[in-house]
A and B are shown apart, each in its own frame.
Chain A
Amino acid sequence: MLSNHFWYGFALGLGLVFLAYLVTTLIKKARKTGKD
């Protein structure tokens, strides 16, 4: 049976992936704004 710690790690991993996506999106927007 999977422990709470496994699910904690799983959620942390998902969170970091989401953070990477968010930062990438914001960089693209910042670059676009900078060119305007």
Chain B
Amino acid sequence: MESTESSNSKPGRCLPAAIGLVFLAPLVAEFLLGNLPIKMLSALVVLAPFYGGGALLIREATRRAGRGWPTIIPLALAYGIVEEAFTTQTLFNPNYMHLNLHLLDSAYIPALGIGAWWTVFVLALHTVWSISTPIALIEATVPSHASTPWLGNIGLAVTTVLFVLGAAANTAIGFHTDHFIASPAQLATSAAAVILLVFLAFRLPRPARTDTALTSLQSSVAEGAGGFNPLKTSQIQAAFRPGSSSSPQSAPNPWLFGFIALAAGSAILVVPSRWGWSAAAIILALELGVAALVLVLSRRRAWRPAHQLALAAGAALSYAWHAFFEPPVLGGTGLSVRVGNAIFALGAVLLIAFAARRLRPAQAAAEPPL
């Protein structure tokens, strides 16, 4: 059993990308956002196993199952619930860590003990920024390994242990400052939501993706050119199956997707919480609108990894500029905070440029034959 799995997964292993994701996830989630200042960079010791371990586990589970973004997104949302309902408990804590943030005041729902705005807002942050954006950015830097698992079984076990330790450490740190524990009903409901999302992630039907089948077909042709590697009948059928054919139109320019993501991400971040239910509705509408747009357009044949990178870049840059206008939640303010914001923003720009550069040759190779 081991030998079969190893031989299947070894060609796709990519430890540098895995390590990169472990550190990028907390850097985006807390530092690029501006929640934590650069002088608290040492907090990565407890944040990387949790955020990074979570992002890496979600990606590994998805790629090992041979699935893609329709699986990553629900798992990212489940991660958000695990973090905010169980480790930090901000979904239910009316005064998180005694910081007087009033997170639950806006559109408070007494029966559930949650704030509608905070729930929608913070779960969007984790789904889009903490998990999906780092995965998309790192995958773009390793185009040839973008859809394969990056870890072997040992690496996966180590990541799982680190994630559990990270969750325990973050929970313990929270308890050290604030002894709040949510009600059993709130915790049970959250657990049920997590389990439901995990089921949905793996059991929803896969969307028909002719371009994926076509890319797979092309890579088989390319491999076959170097040695004997006959095409599988199933690949040929998948690439030309009329029923699964996606729209033949070209997908819009990736830059447009980048601007849409930047605009939508920025809007989510700046909608004032005092708008209450309106703020929650706007955030939800923006998320669903962008998700629907991506779902439709990503099925077009001309959809490329550059589109995925553009979406992640737009999201990352919305965090980057927003950080300059927000005081950190912890660690005080001052010039060093803004210098840190600039450093993280520059890092994000450089990473996006590097990923775009890495994608160019891979994209040229994947162009459909004329």
A19 and B164 CA atoms in complex are apart in Å by 11
Task: Note all chain B residues with C-beta closer than 8 A to A19.
Answer: 82, 194-195, 198
B203 touches A26 (CB 8 A): yes
A29-B66 in contact (CB<8A)? no
Complex: how many Å from CA A20 to CA B162?
13
> A12, B65: Cβ atoms under 8 Å?
no
Report chain A residues within 8 Å CB of B202: 23, 26-27, 29-30
For residue A16, CB closer than 8 A to chain B, the reply is yes
Residues of B169-185 contacting chain A, CB below 8 A: 171-172, 175, 179, 181
Total interface residues on B, CB under 8 Å, equals: 27
Please state if B168 and A31 are interface contacts (CB–CB under 8 Å): no
Taking CB atoms and an 8 Å cut-off, the chain A residues in 1-36 that contact chain B are 4-5, 8-9, 12-13, 15-17, 19-20, 22-23, 26-27, 29-31, 34
Contacting residues, chain B, for A23 (C-beta < 8 A): 57, 61, 198, 202
CB < 8 Å: which of B66, B82, B171, B198 contacts A34?
Answer: B66
Q: Contacting B86 at CB < 8 Å: which of A5, A12, A30?
A: A12
Contact between A5 and B65, CB atoms less than 8 A apart: no
Chain B residue nearest in CB terms to A16: B164
Interface: B191 (CB within 8 A): yes
> Which residues of A sit under 8 angstroms from B194, Cβ to Cβ?
19
What B residues does A12 contact at CB under 8 A? 86-87, 167-168, 171
Chain B residues near A8: list those with CB within 8 A. Answer: 171, 181
* B199, A31: Cβ atoms closer than 8 Å: no
A20: shortest Cβ distance to chain B, in Å?
6
Question: Can you list 13 pairs linking A and B with CB atoms under 8 Å apart?
Answer: A4-B181, A5-B181, A12-B86, A12-B168, A16-B163, A19-B82, A22-B195, A26-B61, A26-B202, A30-B66, A30-B202, A31-B66, A34-B65
Q: Which residues of B contact A (CB under 8 A)?
A: 57, 61, 64-67, 82, 86-87, 160, 163-164, 167-168, 171-172, 175, 179, 181, 191, 194-195, 198-199, 201-203
